[in-house]
């Protein structure tokens, strides 16, 4: 029996993740039945579950992929840039990403087992945010009267609010100044010299 190349396996995994993202985004976790996942990925259940143990593992892989992408942006540009990218629609599939993100929030609230599995994976974004804030503080750009933990929690809360706002389909055209305000609120206050 010929061996399947790693490139082929990686391409198949991406195909499954891309189709599953569309399916979860459209139908939610509960509505993304195996039949719908098969249709969305154009693969059999055997092919899907060869790569992922079960539907929850597939969903967690999507959520983890999103968290990893966000952590990369945070490390380079900060959490406010993640929010700006959301507003600008810079995600490959913004509506599907929002659907996945909202489904994660819902399941965290209602499913203790999922919450435990997610806690292991979600630390990546929080760690990246705290590292970025610490780096900004050491560079003298960040206010020093509030702990890094509180600043990180504040920014993550704003992100969750933005995600909810966008997911509800509310207007987002006027939110750039709001993000400017959020960014300014964490920066170190610098007095303007008087002349």
CA distances from 82 to 2, 117, 145, 153, 163 (A): 43, 24, 24, 15, 11
pLDDT digits (tens, 9 = 90+) for 39-63: 999 999 999 999 999 998 898 888 8
Would you give per-residue pLDDT tens digits along the chain (195 residues)? 557 788 888 899 999 999 998 898 888 888 999 999 999 999 999 999 999 999 988 988 888 888 788 888 898 999 999 899 888 875 555 555 676 777 777 788 888 888 887 877 777 788 889 999 999 999 999 999 999 999 999 998 999 899 888 877 788 889 999 999 999 999 987 655 565
Give the residue among 156, 120, 153, 141 at the shortest CA–CA distance from 186. Answer: 141
């Amino acid at each position: 029996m010929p061996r399947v190349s790693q490139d082929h396996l990686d391409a198949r995994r991406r195909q499954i993740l891309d189709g599953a993202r569309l399916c979860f985004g459209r139908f939610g976790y509960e509505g993304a039945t195996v039949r719908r996942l098969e249709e969305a990925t154009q693969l059999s259940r055997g092919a899907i579950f060869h790569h992922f143990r079960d539907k929850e593992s597939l969903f967690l892989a999507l959520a983890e992929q999103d968290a990893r992408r966000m952590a990369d942006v945070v490390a380079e540009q900060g959490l406010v840039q993640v929010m700006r990218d959301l507003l600008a629609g810079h995600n490959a599939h913004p509506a599907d990403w929002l659907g996945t993100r909202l489904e994660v929030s819902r399941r965290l609230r209602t499913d203790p087992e999922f919450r435990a599995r997610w806690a292991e994976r979600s630390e990546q974004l929080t760690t990246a945010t705290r590292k970025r804030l610490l780096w900004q503080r050491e560079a003298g750009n960040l206010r020093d009267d509030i702990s890094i933990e509180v600043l990180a929690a504040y920014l993550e809360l704003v992100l969750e609010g933005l995600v909810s706002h966008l997911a509800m389909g509310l207007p987002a055209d006027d939110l750039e100044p709001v993000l400017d305000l959020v960014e300014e609120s964490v920066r170190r206050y610098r007095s303007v010299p008087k002349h």
